[in-house]
Amino acid sequence: MILQTSAVAIILAGSVCGQNISFVSDPGVYGPNLEVAHAYYGQWPTGIAVSSTGRMFSNYPGGLDPENTFNGSNNVYTVGELTSLTAEKPFPSLEMNHPPGGAINYSTTPPTGANYQNYLIGVQSVVIDSLDRLWILDTGRVLTQDGVLVPATYGGPKLIGVDLKTDSVFKTIVFPSTVAYGDSYLNDVRFDLRANLSDSTGGGVAYITDSSASGNNALIIVDLDSGESWRHLGLTRAVRGESQFLPFIWGQPGYYTEAGEPYTSFPIGSDGIALSADGETLYWCPLASRYLYSAPTAKLRARGSASELMAQQSVVNHGQKGVSDGLEMDSNGIIYVGNNEGNAVNVFNPSNGTTLTFVRDPRINWVDTMSVATDGHLYFTVNQLNFASATYPGTDRRVRPFALFRAPLPNGGSKAG
């Protein structure tokens, strides 16, 4: 009994003394101070686009949150303009965001995405081009209230251009079913408006990632003048998610589920995309990967009989850069990549192959979309996607508001021309 009491006393004494020992700890912050550009108290956002006049636009995809799905009677919208620090309004109009009868066609078996070409169904990305025009990328897919992602039908998947001087649509490109499959998920887009591009008709080209959770991943190329579109790198390793990929964000494992199905690893393929400042190189990353890839844009625009082989052989693996959703490029040629596991945004420098931390903050969890603006700032949404019901343990743990932050770019960086 005496020995037992002594042992307890020694343990307690050690415990008390241990409280006075100081260890180095993670400061949790690095880089420039973050400024809150917007707080989303209503619908859940992904994208952000900032015009040269300071107008800001976001999208609210029904393909990732059923509460964003227009059902014919609710008052949600899939594209909005940010009008104050906490307010938003539908854009270009509420009518365009409300397809007749809703975003889901229940007259088909199984239900499918509505096929209206002149209405927005389920927008995943909004981007401002170098002419200060807004482009809207519509997946044509949304979730039912039970969490089932309905397949797209022709007319739903499309790319819409809006003239911000008049807020009117000037271009609609509808993707054929041979380019945007029923299980495709058109994720993000970048534009090269140079008139002298090879294998184009002079009106510029768009590059799109297909992040389909079904594995039909690819890069999609669009001739903006003719409206033609085609796929490259389909089903290759560079556009597909890695097997058994498991991120940890804020200490929580990122297992994935859909409509109550058993948990699995993240299946999402090519997602983030960035175009080099000179337009000669396209960068992208699968969501279920830590690797960054690139290919010469000339190889992606080509459509000859050997073009797919040449595109595949031109792909470069730039190594690991963290778990990233969106990507962005500035005028200095620096690529901004999310590092969601590190509560950070990283920077990849193509000139020396290094990836370094740009900014860290404890408020950062899931960096979704980034936008470099002409005001010299990087804007990025932090939307807690890792806490949505599609991730383990299957309950919605998101806490409003969702964030739009901005940080000053280094070395005088701005939007690439």
Please state, for a pLDDT cut of 90, what percent of the chain lies above it: 93
- pLDDT tens by residue, 351-397: 999 999 999 999 999 999 999 999 999 999 999 999 999 999 999 99
Question: Predicted confidence band at 13 (pLDDT cuts at 50, 70, 90)?
Answer: very low
User: For the purposes of burial, counting CB atoms within 10 Å of the CB of 2, is it exposed (0-12), middle (13-18) or buried (19 or more)?
Assistant: exposed
pTM: 0.95
Q: pLDDT band for 2, please (50, 70, 90 cuts).
A: very low
What are the tens digits of pLDDT across the range 214-251?
A: 999 999 999 999 999 999 999 899 999 999 999 999 99
Amino acid symbol at 8:
V
Report which of 78, 86, 90 is spatially closest to residue 38, judged by C-alpha positions.
86
Q: What is the pLDDT of residues 90-107, one digit of tens each?
A: 999 999 999 999 999 999
**Phi–psi pair at 307, nearest 5 degrees:** -65, -35
User: How many whole angstroms separate alpha carbon 258 and alpha carbon 143?
Assistant: 10
**pLDDT confidence band for 5 (50 / 70 / 90):** very low
CA distance 186 to 189: 8
Number of Cβ within 10 Å of residue 271's Cβ equals 26
Dump pLDDT digits (tens) for 190-209: 999 999 999 999 999 999 99
| E strand map for 139-280 | 158-163, 168-174, 186-192, 205-210, 218-223, 229-232, 248-249, 252-253, 270-275
Which three-class secondary structure state does DSSP give residue 342?
helix
Query: In angstroms, rounded to a whole number, what is the distance separating the alpha carbons of residues 417 and 41?
Result: 33
Average confidence score pLDDT of the chain = 95
CA–CA separation, 318 and 292 (whole Å) = 5
